[in-house]
Amino acid sequence: MSMKFFLRFLGAFALVTVVYADFISDLTGHHFQVLTPGSSGYAAASASRNRRFSFEPAAVTFPKSAQDVSTILSLCTKYNHKAVARSGGHGYTANAIGGKDGSVVVDLSNFKSVTVDSSTHIATIGTGSRLGDIALALNDNGRALPHGVCPYVGIGGHSVELYRHGGYGFTSRKWGLTLDTITALQVVLANGTIVTASSSNHPDLFFALRGSSSSFGIVTSIQAKTLPAPSSATIFEYYWDMSAATAASAFAAFQSFAVEPDLPQEFGAEIVLGAGSSKGRVSFGITGGWYAAADRFHSVISPLLARLPKPSSSTITPGSYINSVQLLGESGHLNTTGIPDSTDTFYAKSLMTPESAPMSNKSITAFMEYLANQGFGTNTNWFVEVELYGGTNSAINKVPVSATAFGRRSSMFTIQFYTSAPSGKPPFPNAGFSLLDGMVNSIVSNNPPGWDYGAYANYIDDRLANWQTLYYSTNYPRLRSLKERFDPHDILSFPHSIEE
């Protein structure tokens, strides 16, 4: 390196250091908490739930109001710093702390209020609220929303943002995705402007926010149309240890059952797959919820069970709706206040299969053979969940694809492939990547060329090629155009954010 170049480098470094110091000085001159590298509490505040990732944000901020968020984003725009929102921090690839070094984290944990209008039944929910706490608050009013099962997931990410895109639960075939219930959102744009977006106010922004909001602004509160909590909810679980051939037949039977014309919307389910008892076998489960009178459940599930071997175990648990939410959450509680969340070291992939072109028997057979053989005795812990999105009268697929940023409105299944390091701690072995790549390839390569499959951005994959189309389908060009309009300086930026 020449002396002249070295001096220029030192000058540029000094300038960057001064600008950063000015930025932090301006940021900390307000009444909200700001943590920077070296601050007490910074290490915990900047840790990712997925220990496969470790990034160093420029700052972690804890605003208390939409005006605080406006101040933070205005300063990020002034100093050209990237910003990200963190709702629950459950993003699979640590986008909630930037997905890279140097971002400003806008932590929404102070935005936890949940209220329900007694006349309209519209709930106003702070985007730092977690699903378990929301379910309890809504249940106190006799109401509910469609949402996932983990109590610790933040509503902001689950319903509107890229790293929690959509909001699926077992009630979704009847009620739709979480984002489908949203009627309005308060959002702070990258330039600090605070607006309320709805179908009649900033409709283009409203479209983008429901499914990709972390690229367009920071949502501070959501207004959502709640549903009456069902008077009865039955959670069911059936398990088998099957040969690969039997598992393939069972999977095909489930796929056929899902499109039976008399399958009620109140039936929601998924197939859960894992390593079998020995090589050549698969652990095969069917679990889900029935959200109608308990005495009707047997007649609904019987046609499916008649096509399958006798299960090795089964559990049928009727009860109240809120008890079903707690049971599915598997943590033993829904209140998350003061109770730490868990961590893991993991990798995930996804597939969304088209309802118009169901998985071929060839692909189902190849998939089960792969799980039964290559999936046995691996050095990572894995599972596969095959979530039923489509089927007869699915509310998810009744919404036009152009209505929201969610781009896969004609899917039969959303499949999550998940594997974690031994004991859930780093390092993550390279074999985990190839294991899941092989699972996905066994399906895709054994369906017809041009098979219109997608991927689910809630199960975001940092190694995924062509993610723009796989996540957003035909909606991506519109989202890209809106990005240029609402965030022209790309302040709200992270891996897999909408590109300018």
Average pLDDT over the chain reads 92
The region, left, alpha or beta by phi > 0 then psi within -120 to 50, assigned to residue 465 is beta
Residue ranges covered by each domain of the chain: 3-107, 114-229+476-486, 233-319+343-464
Q: Which CATH class is domain 114-229+476-486?
A: alpha beta
Q: How far is CA 19 from CA 7, 13, 22, in A?
A: 18, 10, 5
pLDDT at 158: 45
User: Does the pLDDT of residue 4 top 70, yes or no?
Assistant: no
Res. 6 pLDDT band, cuts 50 70 90:
very low
Q: Which two tokens stand for residue 167?
A: 């909001």
Query: Pick from 215, 221, 214: which is nearest to 195 by CA?
Result: 221
pLDDT at 161: 39
pLDDT at 263: 96
Res. 1 pLDDT band, cuts 50 70 90:
low
pLDDT at 165: 53
**Which residues is 224 bridged to in the sheet?**
123, 182
For 3-107, CATH gives: 3.30.465.10
Higher pLDDT, 456 or 161: 456
Summarised one tens digit per residue, pLDDT across range 145-168 is: 999 888 777 675 544 433 235 789
Summarised one tens digit per residue, pLDDT across range 342-384 is: 899 999 999 999 999 999 999 999 999 999 999 999 999 999 9
Summarised one tens digit per residue, pLDDT across range 284-305 is: 999 999 999 999 999 999 999 9
User: Does the pLDDT of residue 3 top 80, yes or no?
Assistant: no
With pLDDT > 90 as the criterion, what percentage of the chain qualifies?
86
Give the CA diameter of the chain. Answer: 83
Summarised one tens digit per residue, pLDDT across range 411-443 is: 999 999 999 999 999 999 999 999 999 999 999
Note whether 3-107 and 114-229+476-486 share their fold.
yes
User: Does the pLDDT of residue 12 top 50, yes or no?
Assistant: no
User: Does the pLDDT of residue 463 top 80, yes or no?
Assistant: yes
SS3 381: strand
pLDDT at 164: 38
pLDDT at 341: 82
**Mean pLDDT calculated for residue range 100-123:** 97
Is the domain spanning 233-319+343-464 CATH 3.30.70.580? The answer is no
Query: Pick from 410, 407, 286: which is nearest to 353 by CA?
Result: 410
Q: Which two tokens stand for residue 190?
A: 């990258």
CA 324 to mean position of chain CA atoms:
21
**Mean pLDDT calculated for residue range 214-238:** 97
Contact 230, 292 (CB under 8 A): yes
DSSP-assigned letters across all residues of 402-413: TSSS---TTEEE
